[in-house]
A and B are shown apart, each in its own frame.
Chain A
Amino acid sequence: SQQGEEDPQALSIQEGENATMNCSYKTSINNLQWYRQNSGRGLVHLILIRSNEREKHSGRLRVTLDTSKKSSSLLITASRAADTASYFCATDAGVRNNDMRFGAGTRLTVKP
């Protein structure tokens, strides 16, 4: 079953603008990961943030985690047309096997 919700479901911005996507989850976690998926292809891992971390950066990506609110956000700065994709957050169930539970995803469109 899915772990959480993401908003917005779809986001359309102009190239150069920043894009912020949010993710909420329901249970305790060990870590939270963000993935990108282009046009129904495989998932590309973007960034992992552990439950004891509050913020993490990777290039133009910034991820925050608020375990008290059970929420995370992904910020993409200075967006490019190539950033057009679906973005998913995923949490480890923290119970067994390291299987991941995925949010519904945000469809990001960056217009050139």
Chain B
Amino acid sequence: SAVISQKPSRDICQRGTSLTIQCQVDSQVTMMFWYRQQPGQSLTLIATANQGSEATYESGFVIDKFPISRPNLTFSTLTVSNMSPEDSSIYLCSVGGGKWETQYFGPGTRLLVL
């Protein structure tokens, strides 16, 4: 299994600012995933982050709004840029595939934008 940590666990931000969320995994993984969960909703995949290449974004998500870094095989960041109240959500990173069939999730970052 994988143990995943995220920082920060929660934050309250002003509109127009940006927040960078960190995700750390306790083992090397090729692919990491970033999800958004809006209040009362299910999870929606934002992007897949592969080490050494550009992240692949899902429909409705763009790099300018959600830039992602993947500097090594155990770490990734997601930035929520130029935030608005509509960005208030829980953001979760996960790993899966390859040696794991199961997908493992971090504890999430709860973001509130005022």
Tell me the smallest distance from the CB of B114 to a CB of chain A, in Å: 18
Give A50's nearest chain B residue, CB to CB.
B101
Give the nearest-CB partner of B31 in chain A. Answer: A97
Q: Which among A11-19, A61-69, A76-84, A101-109 touches the partner chain?
A: A101-109
Majority SS at the chain B contact face: strand
Q: With a CB–CB cut-off of 8 A, which chain A residues contact B108?
A: 40-42
For residue B70, CB closer than 8 A to chain A, the reply is no
Known A-B contacts A40-B110, A41-B108, A97-B56; A102 and B43 likewise in contact (beta carbons under 8 Å) = yes
CB-CB < 8 A to A102: which residues of B?
Answer: 42-44
- Closest Cβ neighbor of A45 among chain B residues: B102
A-B contacts at CB below 8 angstroms, number? 62
Contact bitstring A19-62, B, C-beta under 8 A = 1, else 0: 00000000000010101000011110100101000000000000
A104: shortest Cβ distance to chain B, in Å? 5
The interface on chain B, measured as residues whose beta carbon lies within 8 A of the other chain's beta carbons, has a size of: 27
Query: Residue B17 at the A interface, CB < 8 A?
Result: no
Contact A97/B48 with A1-B58, A41-B108, A103-B42 known, Cβ cut-off 8 Å: yes
Q: A88's closest neighbor in chain B, by CB?
A: B42
CB nearest neighbor in A for B47:
A99
B42 adjacent to A104 (CB under 8 Å): yes
Q: Report yes or no: A100 in contact with B45, Cβ–Cβ below 8 A.
A: yes
| Chain B contact residues, CB within 8 Å of chain A | 31, 33, 37, 41-45, 48, 56, 58-59, 90, 92, 94, 96-98, 101-108, 110
